[in-house]
Structure formats: structure tokens, C-alpha cells
Amino acid sequence: MEEIKLDLSNLDAALPSDFTQEQKAKAKTLFYKELAVAAHDFYRGKMQTVPKAPAPGFNWFNVWYTPGVSKISTSIREDNNQSFNLSNRGNIVAVVSDSTRVLGDGDCTPPGGMGVMEGKALLMKYLGGFDAVAICVDSKNEKGENDPDKIIDFVKMCQHSFGAIDLEDISQPNCYKVLDVLREECNIPVWHDDAQGTACVTLAGLINALKLVNKDIDKVKIVYYGAGAANATIARIVNAAGADPAKTIMFDSKGGLHKNRKDIEEDKRFYRKWELCQATNPDCVDDFPEALKGADVLISMAKPGPDLIKPEWISSMAEKSIVFVCANPIPEIYPYAAKEAGAHIVATGRGDFPNQVNNSVGFPGILKGALLVKAKKVTDNMAIAAAKAIAEFSEKRGINTENIIAKMDEPDVFPYEAAEVAMQAIKDGVARLEMTWQEAYDIAKKDIELARSTTKLLVDNGVIPQPPKEMIDKILKKTIEEVR
């Protein structure tokens, strides 16, 4: 079967020249979905386990296993911290989910989240230089309800095998309790990437976008559309970084969040939303189009569009407005439509549009930084330090309205970010190990280069095959026919 190295960034050129921008956007979404199914089936997933140590002769099994390994067990028994050095624990993360809110697709059943969790593991290895394993669990209790305590108990039991835990795709309000309890009761970092990771990268993008429009974070009016775990955490982190809560308005499906929302106050499970109700929207605005008038920034983490946010709403915003529409797989309004309506800077969660604000540029560096110093937790200060590191790295290499933050294909952003996170962990007193910024940067960079070169070695030697050209051509032809 003929094989091809396909750079999917050239997909636009492969689409018919007479396609409109909307047709191209639809075609790319459909193509990526269909190719995902075919490619995952071809490779049978995307992660595998390989040894990191050699076996030069049969007797080496007496070193790696019994009787030699007995000394490893007793050494760790005497000092549990030795598990970070004498096993892979210090360089492996568990990606844990109950798959109750997978991207924009809702509850996909526990095994339905495996594609996303394996995807996170792949990015952690390739971009962050550390190992990860996907673990999808059933959180339902005897009543058939998704029970956050089941996830909490599971993570607390398995934490001793990992250097950190990455929580993913847990529906609200369960995600709040799961994260907050585990952050305090586990002795390793527990990180909710949908919330903290998205908040970190959004803040990084916002910092640079505000620089480009010459506006100060403490003076801008920010409107949030959607009040799930992502936006609720974004608002908390952005406020901690200097935004004025009194100039902030957030909307959920029932209207604006404010002090009169008794439905939120009475449901104690939504305590994070209630905190925002008390701190933001002092005028109790309930109409979204009205709130958006004169706003400097819109951050939407709602549901897939593309017609959820109307162009006329964007037109009512302040001069040089900033619009983040980050629903996946289709943003709440297409970037070209937001631009036509007057938005100065538009960002989405997708890599095939300018300004991808996606946690994929954050979590590999953040978790690597935490692992480097064997941190006990990831503090909000560490998340803000990561955001500032991404923004600073991006600004140094150059930013503009179509390129506000670094992308996944800029590998140097990750060790830079990891070093800043490691230093903040030391400052916050949550690090088991101290090192200099340069030491952290050098280790992270070396590990990331090793991970990438290992993958390249396997591909170059045919151990990992290239995707078949005929498979890709077939899907592309089918996509064009369906969109046309």
C-alpha cells in the first residue's frame, strides 16, 4: 500500500477553489472526524508501552525483576519518596476521566473517552517528554447516578503509582468537588485540564491580545458565555491575574450570574458558580446581547456553533474587541464572520484557524514542571506563572493579531513553561526537590527532544507506519462530495 507523509496544514490547498469560507470550515471539520476514525482503526489507538531500560543478557532479568528488584521494594518501603527515583513514577501521569462530558459530545460512556484520553497521553509524551496512561472509570453508583466520590476514591487509591493526576471530561458540578477534594487530600499534583489548563492558556492569549490592543486587564469589560468548569475557572484565574470582577459578567443557560441567582445559591454543588455570582455582575444584567454592548472581551466556552453567537452582537462590542470562541469542534461563530462583524482579534480552540487557544500548549509544560520538582500539588500561582511564561515566550518570538500565542509545533515553549512552573512550585513550598531555572529548562528540553526523536526513529525504521495515502484520498474525496 502506498504511503505518504501528509502535512494536514495544507488541507486548505486540497479543497476546491470555489468553496466558500463556510464550506471550507465544514469540510475540514468533517474530514478530520472521518480521518480520525480511519486512522485510529488503522493504528488500533495511538499509545503503546515500551521498555526504557535494556536487557543486554538473560541475567539482566535478575536485576530488573527478582531477586534484585526486592531491594527496590524495601528501599521504597523505607522512604516512599524514593519511588520517584527508583521507578517511573516520577515521570508518568494518569489521565483519569469518567467520560461524562467528552468535548462537545456529552456523556460518551466510560470507554467512549479513551480516544481523548489517549490523545492527551500522546501530547504529554511528544510535547512534554513524560509518560501518561489513559484511565476511563465508571463513576455510577447503585442508583445509576454519576458519583464524584467514586472518582475521588479511585484516584486516592491509585495515586501512589503516578507523579501526577490529570482529570479530564468530568461533567459539572461533579468536577468541582473531585478537583478540590483531591487537590487537598492527595500528595501529588491533581490537575483538571479542562478547567485549569484551559484557564491557563486563555489567560496567556488574553495577556498578549490586550498588549496588541493597548488595553489594561484591570480596566476592560469581560463577558463570559457559558458557565461550565472551563469558563468558571477561567474567570477565577483571570480575576486572580488582575481583572476587575465588577467589570465581569458571566452567562449560563438561564441568564447572567449575579447575587440574585437563588437557584445557584441553593444548589450547594455549584459553589464555584455561586462564588462568581457574589463577586461579578453587580448590576445583575440578565440579557446577553445587552451585556455585550461596549464589552472589550468576549470569552465563550459554550456549545458548538457556528450560529450560537450572532454577528450583530459582536458589532456592538467596544473598539478593537477581543473575541475568544472556543467551543469544539465548531466555534460559536466562525472567525471570518466575527472579523466581518468588527472583532479585532479572534481566537478559537482549533489549530486550523489563527490563534488557537487550546490547553494543548499548556498542560505538557505545566505538568512537566510539576514533575521535575516532584511537586505535591499545582497551585493557582503555578497556573498563572505558566500563562505568563507562554505569553512571554510568544511575545519574544513575535506576536500579531493573527498569532497571539505559541502553537504546539513550537517545541521550545514547553521547557520554558516547565521551568517557570518548577520555580513557582519551589516559591510556593510545594516542591520536594529544588533546582535552578536553567537546570529545569535543560532537563525538560532534553526529555522532550528524546521523546520526539524516539518517535521519529520508530517511524524512520518502519516500526510505526505512515498513514496510507489511499485512505486519506478516499476520505478527502468523500468529504468534498458531501460538502458540495
Cβ(79)–Cβ(138) below 8 Å = no
Residues 6+ apart with CB under 8 A from 313: 288, 289, 292, 341
Taking CA atoms, 124 is separated from 114, 235, 266, in Å, by 15, 26, 39
The active-site residue out of 24, 26, 28, 120 is 120
Which of the following is catalytic: 33, 43, 52, 65? 65
Q: What is the DSSP string of 162-202?
A: -SEEEE-S--TTHHHHHHHHHHHH-SS-EEEIIIIIHHHHH
Q: How many CA atoms lie within 13 A of 224 on its CB side?
A: 32
Quick one: cell of 211?
Answer: 498588549
Please give the grid coordinates belonging to residue 205: 492569549
- What residues pair up with 146 in beta bridges, in sequence order? 140
DSSP string, 119-172: HHHHHIIIIIS-EEEEEE---B-TTS-B-HHHHHHHHHHHGGG-SEEEE-S--T
Are residues 316 and 292 in contact, defined by beta-carbon separation less than 8 angstroms?
Answer: yes
Distance, CA of 385 to CA of 421 (rounded, Å): 6
Q: Which cell numbers hold the place of 416?
A: 520554558
Cell of 345: 482579534
Beta pairing, strands 164-167 & 190-192 = parallel
Distance from C-alpha of 83 to C-alpha of 164, rounded to nearest angstrom:
13
Three-class secondary structure of residue 306 per DSSP: coil
Query: Amino acid identity of 269?
Result: R
DSSP state of 111: G
Report the candidate in 174, 166, 301, 239 with the shortest Cα–Cα distance to residue 309: 301
Annotated catalytic, 303?
Answer: no
Distance, CA of 260 to CA of 263 (rounded, Å): 9
Alpha carbon distance 36, 30 (integer Å): 10
Residue 65 annotated in active site: yes
Is the Cβ–Cβ distance between 84 and 372 less than 8 Å? no
513550537: which residue's cell? 410
Catalytic annotation, residues: 65, 120
